[in-house]
Amino acid sequence: MKTTRLTRCDNYWQANLLKGALESAGIPCAVHNEFNLYSFGIANGMTGVDVLVYEDDLERARELMNNVLQESGEEPEGWDEATEEGETPEP
């Protein structure tokens, strides 16, 4: 199965919070680029951390992500909108 980017977060913590919510809902996912943050030192948010899901799970994952954001009362800084269908992250 092919993966696609659900969102890009500014930091490791946001990405892993979303990953935990997705996995709790039975949606397999992966965090990509998390170690690049440490490679750049203080330029922490330079590259972002991608949360990847299978294309078949993309719609469910978007709904869950939106619910998590709504329940928090505000959209945390650094969360990109979900990508358009068919877009894949650059390597």
- Distance between CA atoms of 69 and 91, rounded to whole angstroms? 27
pTM across the whole model: 0.70
- Classify domain 3-71 by CATH number: 3.30.70
| pLDDT at 52 > cutoff 80 | yes
What integer pLDDT is reported at residue 45 of this predicted model? Answer: 47
> Strand 3-9 vs strand 49-54: parallel, antiparallel, or unpaired?
antiparallel
Domain ranges of the chain: 3-71
Per-residue pLDDT, averaged over 51-62, amounts to: 96
Do 6 and 61 meet the contact criterion of CB atoms below 8 Å apart?
A: yes
- Distance between CA atoms of 1 and 60, rounded to whole angstroms? 16
| pLDDT at 85 > cutoff 80 | no
Burial class (CB in 10 A: 0-12, 13-18, 19+), 25: middle
| pLDDT at 8 > cutoff 50 | yes
What integer pLDDT is reported at residue 41 of this predicted model? Answer: 53
